[in-house]
Amino acid sequence: MAISAVLPDLLLGRRLTLVAMLLLLIIMCKQLCLSKALEDGGGPSAAPPSSELSRTERRLLFADLVDREFFRAVRVFLITPESVFTTDTTLLVPSDAAMALSAQSSSTPKLFHHVRFHTLARNLSLEDLRAIPQGTWISSKVPGLGVQVTENTASFLSLNNAAILRPNICPNLAFSGVTCHGIDRVLDESSIPSDAQPVNPPFVQSPSSSSTPVQNQNPTPTVSPLPKAPSPPSPTVGNVTNIPSSNSSPVDTPSNVNSSSGIGLPPSLLGPLSQSFPNSAIHISYSIKTILSTATFVGFFLV
C-alpha cells in the first residue's frame, strides 16, 4: 500500500523533470542559432557604416539630376559601378558646360574616372558646408584624397575653387542620407604635390590669421582641418592642394588603377568584402550532438 501511494508522486516528478530538460534543450538550440546568425554577419556589429543605394534610389537620383539638366553627369553615373553609390555621402556634380570643357581639355581628367573623388565621405547640406571654416579639408571616398573649402562667405561657397552653383539638387535622396550639389567645374586630383606626406595636424590655422596656430578642440574624424600646406609644384586646379590624411592608404592614380571595371576605378575602392567563418558549422554540429547525447542519457534514467 505504501509503495502504491508513493509511485504516482515519483512518476509525476520524473515527468516534470523531463519537461524541464526539454525546455532547456529548446533554449540552448535557440542560443546556438542566434550565435550562428551573428557569426554569419547578421548582427548589428557586422553592418557597414554606409549601405549601397538600391535600384529605386539610384533611379530617383538620376531623375532629380535630369530634371535639373545635369545630363552629362547622369550618362557618366549610368556606366559607374552600382557599389560606388552609397548612403551618407555628398555628390559634387559638375554642370554640363563644365563636363564639355573637361572633355576638350587633355590636362583635366574626365569625371567617370573620379566619381569617388567627387563623392564626399559625409552627408553635408549647404548649411553644413557653410558651418565649416574656410581652409578646412574634407575627405572624399578616395583614400588619401579630398577637397578644401577655398571660400566661404554669405553669398559664395567654393570647394577646390569650384563654386557651388546649385545646392541640394537631389531632394528625393534626402531620406537616404545623400545630398548633391551642382558645381561649375570638374575637380582635378592631379594637383596633389608628389612630395606631400600624410599628416594629421593637431592645430587649425585660419587662412587669414597669423603664423601662430590655434588649437583645435573639436576635431572630427572625416572633416579634418588643413594646416599650412607645402608649396606645391604648379597645381592645376587654382591654388588648392589636397593633403592626404594620416590614416589613408596610398593614392590611386589613373596610371596604376585597374581598369577592369570599365571606368578606371580600382577594385580596392569598391568597399570591404564580408568575411566568412568556416568553423561555425562544425561548432554548431558538435554542440547539437552533445545536447542530444545528454538528453538521451538523462531520459534513460528518468523513464
The predicted model gives 172-191 an average pLDDT of: 88
pLDDT tens profile 22-58: 777 788 776 666 555 444 444 433 434 568 999 999 9
Domain of 205? 55-262
Q: Is residue 219 in some structural domain?
A: yes
Supply the pLDDT for residue 57. Answer: 95
The predicted model gives 67-87 an average pLDDT of: 92
Of all residues in the chain, the percent with pLDDT exceeding 70 is 48
Please give the Cα distance from 71 to 93 (Å, whole number).
Answer: 10
Q: Is residue 24 in some structural domain?
A: no
Please report, to the nearest 10 degrees, the dihedral formed by the alpha carbons of residues 218, 89, 176, 274 taken in order: -100
Please give the Cα distance from 264 to 258 (Å, whole number).
Answer: 6
pLDDT at 186 over 80: yes
> 3-state DSSP helix/strand/coil percent for the chain, to nearest 5?
40, 15, 45
Q: Is residue 291 in some structural domain?
A: no
Pairwise pLDDT comparison (35 vs 220), residue with the higher score: 35
Pairwise pLDDT comparison (256 vs 120), residue with the higher score: 120
Q: Is residue 70 in some structural domain?
A: yes
Mean pLDDT, the chain, rounded, equals 68
CATH of the domain at 236: 2.30.180.10
Supply the pLDDT for residue 108. Answer: 56
Q: Is residue 80 in some structural domain?
A: yes
Q: Is residue 34 in some structural domain?
A: no
Please give the Cα distance from 26 to 296 (Å, whole number).
Answer: 14
pLDDT tens profile 228-276: 444 544 444 444 444 444 444 443 433 343 333 333 333 333 333 333 3
Nearest to 80 by CA among 103, 111, 112: 112
Interhelix angle 55-67/71-78, rounded to 10 degrees, is: 160
pLDDT at 74 over 50: yes
Q: Is residue 303 in some structural domain?
A: no
Our count of domains for the chain comes to 1
pLDDT at 129 over 90: yes
Q: Is residue 103 in some structural domain?
A: yes
pLDDT tens profile 203-217: 333 333 333 343 444
Of all residues in the chain, the percent with pLDDT exceeding 90 is 33
Under DSSP, the state recorded for 41 is I
Nearest to 142 by CA among 263, 252, 267, 255: 252
* Placement of cell 557586422 in the chain: 46
Please give the Cα distance from 162 to 238 (Å, whole number).
Answer: 9
